[in-house]
Structure 1
């Protein structure tokens, strides 16, 4: 006799396919205060495009990871371990990412081809079967990769991922899918049950799965010569055919919905997998480009909130390196235990480049990426903010100094204790005495709420004041100037000087004819 099996409430297919990692997309919120300015000041678009290599998913994953950041040392270490595995097995990671992309693209093609079909339950069932049949070989390849390479991965993230694949995508899982697809193709017709409702209307339609002894059962009924009730629709009865189609749709409706939801869950799994691996693929892409130029990289050493750790060796600006054909100059930093870093020195000597490299290294560390340095250690921050000088308002609605103060006032409302603020020539739009007084008050206020500050300035009054009265809590770096007026783009620990060597710029711009040693504009 037929097996009494209800596809609405008793289907292992739905349960099995729902298990792997379904995830909802987070709603899009307004960007935080200062985020747009930080992207511009750090030239982050250059970095993200290098990571993406024209892959929009990798671009979005890299952008999201760097802007969101991780808030604890444990989270950073977790992602660093996953990245270490990815760097050790790049081909496997790229293939898994490629399988996720293949699944999503294939599903979209199926959706386009079936879009014009009627939205009946039978059409939904047919489309869902096609989608599932396209997913199964990719899931099988995922399982094969797990068997071949899982033992080479040691991070908690990848080991848990592969363990889940072993558990979910076992032989029974694929056998069960094959069995259910065999039923749902309905090659022997639609077997359903129903009850009579009021007015003789059919209710409670349930699709039934035939048991293996179905044919023998039918044979036995014929042999017993028991009456059967059947109706055959005439070949040219169009209305009868439509009525039969509606009856079939009622029977397969529950199974079609269940299978549609199941394939949606598999698609969600591949979408989440593509998004998560997109960040690591982007990190691999960036690693390949920097390694090809022999630029150093390291896994940073993060320290928890409440500490004040700042140290780096050969720290460089990756965005600048990506734009130039040669390697760029790196700089060292030793500023542990100090909440303030003041940078002075020659014009176009590398101060802004160092400021950008420090901010980028902080963002890359807190996203779990490798840092652009031979070594880098820093305290985890609650946020990274920038305040760079801007061109004067072309509409003349406000003065340059007013614009600086307005932007700073907006930032102050968003900065939390434990944040990092990078200032480049802030408050320089007014006279030196007034600017130094404002900057002094501002720095004290920020340090009082545990905000670390890196301050690039030409305000000698301000820098000299801090060197004289706050040398124990401030680290001073100065951009070097060669004896011939050239810029080596190195910053060294040194006291501020009452000159920025502006005469060098004047002489190079207006008097020198030999431009052989003129600095590359992009390296300023």
Structure 2
């Protein structure tokens, strides 16, 4: 049995190594905030959403496959949560009671395997019941296939057969083993035998004389005889113990994998509840193939900022259809970095099959997602800030592939304007030639103006909006680069405001 709720043809591999650059992606996009909101304290959900989000999909069909399942989960949230709670409870009981499951001798292995199967028997019955009650409600391919599989493979006849086998495997009437004598009169060919069903009634068996039989009873203190008898027992049940162990392992693996893959959707449901409470919109994005160039959104906002501040965030509209490079300039503290983070978060969320924080969203999938943000100097740096920036850019260059996306936030600003602008120009030009999408937030006028002067059709220039008088709206609009970033606005707000306050206090 397979869950297949994240991929059509395989399970989620929790042991898969995360792509290079994942650490920078988590740091720059503040993904820990997203993971925490989705997990809500559930460690299993936290581990799964981290793995699923960071192992980004570049396959449109798989993205749509997950979207359809998530839509079903949103429509029938109570059913999905009930199923997840059942699986979590079962796995927790199994973990507490069967820590020493892997016994190496047949009798112990058989005993533990039968206990595990007995415990999971009731869970399988409940899962089939949930499937029968809800199979007609769900529309997604993944959930309908899961429910159909549970109904077909866990039929009444199958469950009855399991129940009978479990009763027999307890061997309440003892074990019947046959063997033959081999060389040196040593036993060989041990086979577990099924006892013949009695032909007469239990009253007749009780009153009729017993047939003659050869038997012996071990003395209570005969430890050697007990070991010899135990060895004979183990030889007889070795095959059935191995088969029962495999069956228990198979069912346990299915239960755990179903819990694991449902955990991703539980994380999405948790996030949706939080955003609904903040009155923030979400939508299911329209993914396009990697070779296309599309990036359009309305009401796009930074979901992590909204979660951190617990309030509604200003959304933005962008239309970058057919564009490879987006240069974002404008006033300091105008929302450029927040906008860039919203671009990265929406791309990451789309490419793991989630909804995105926007009123509408459409974009091409990207082969890889990279971030290159300015870093503050700290004790962990083995060289200067500029050398560290170049080193990270070198790492990205070694991994980036055509149809990837790179998000730059004030990169190469730790050197002088001319040198930083020239490096930025060469990097962006090289990425454009490799058909790599670029979003670049910069204060370097020489770099931005130089690109604008080339009048390239695949380049879009955006600017943080600033009203007359210096008010920031935190909206990003189309606009050519300006010489100033209006740092004097911040100076007046911070320093002149403080001076005015000191004068007022002095008076």
User: How do 1:19-418 and structure 2 match up within 5 A?
Assistant: 19-20=1-2, 26=13, 28=15, 31-112=18-99, 120-213=105-198, 228-392=213-377, 394=379, 397-418=382-403
* CA deviation vs aligned residue, 1:71-111 (integer Å, no higher than 9, x gap): 21111111100111011111111111122212211111221
Shift of the 49–189 alpha-carbon distance from structure 1 to 2, 3 Å rule, reads same
**Deviation at residue 29 of structure 1 after TM alignment:** 5.8
Normalising by the residue count of structure 1, what TM-score does the alignment of the two structures yield?
0.89
Which of 460-469 and 335-344 deviates more?
460-469
Shift of the 25–386 alpha-carbon distance from structure 1 to 2, 3 Å rule, reads closer
Shift of the 259–118 alpha-carbon distance from structure 1 to 2, 3 Å rule, reads closer
Which of 189-198 and 46-55 deviates more?
189-198
Which of 25-34 and 201-210 deviates more?
25-34
Equivalent position of 1:8 in the other structure: none
Shift of the 368–247 alpha-carbon distance from structure 1 to 2, 3 Å rule, reads same
Mapped partners of 1:24, 1:495: distance in 2: 48
Secondary structure of 1:128's match? helix
Where does structure 2 lack aligned partners over 5 or more consecutive residues? 5-9, 502-507
Conserved in 2, the CA contact under 8 Å of 1:310 and 1:334? yes
Shift of the 214–405 alpha-carbon distance from structure 1 to 2, 3 Å rule, reads farther
Match among 393, 406, 412 for residue 427 of structure 1: 412
Conserved in 2, the CA contact under 8 Å of 1:52 and 1:282? yes
* CA deviation vs aligned residue, 1:422-479 (integer Å, no higher than 9, x gap): 0011111222222222211211110111100001000111212222222522111111
**Deviation at residue 31 of structure 1 after TM alignment:** 4.2
Conserved in 1, the CA contact under 8 Å of 2:18 and 2:55? no
**Deviation at residue 48 of structure 1 after TM alignment:** 0.4
Secondary structure of 2:375's match? coil
Conserved in 1, the CA contact under 8 Å of 2:70 and 2:354? yes
Equivalent position of 1:13 in the other structure: none
Secondary structure of 1:497's match? coil
**Deviation at residue 325 of structure 1 after TM alignment:** 2.7
* CA deviation vs aligned residue, 1:306-334 (integer Å, no higher than 9, x gap): 11001000000110000113201110100
Conserved in 2, the CA contact under 8 Å of 1:183 and 1:209? no
**Deviation at residue 278 of structure 1 after TM alignment:** 0.7
* Cα root mean square deviation, aligned: 2.5
Normalising by the residue count of structure 2, what TM-score does the alignment of the two structures yield?
0.92
Shift of the 58–180 alpha-carbon distance from structure 1 to 2, 3 Å rule, reads same
Conserved in 2, the CA contact under 8 Å of 1:20 and 1:266? no
Secondary structure of 1:127's match? helix
Mapped partners of 1:338, 1:146: distance in 2: 46
**Deviation at residue 406 of structure 1 after TM alignment:** 1.4
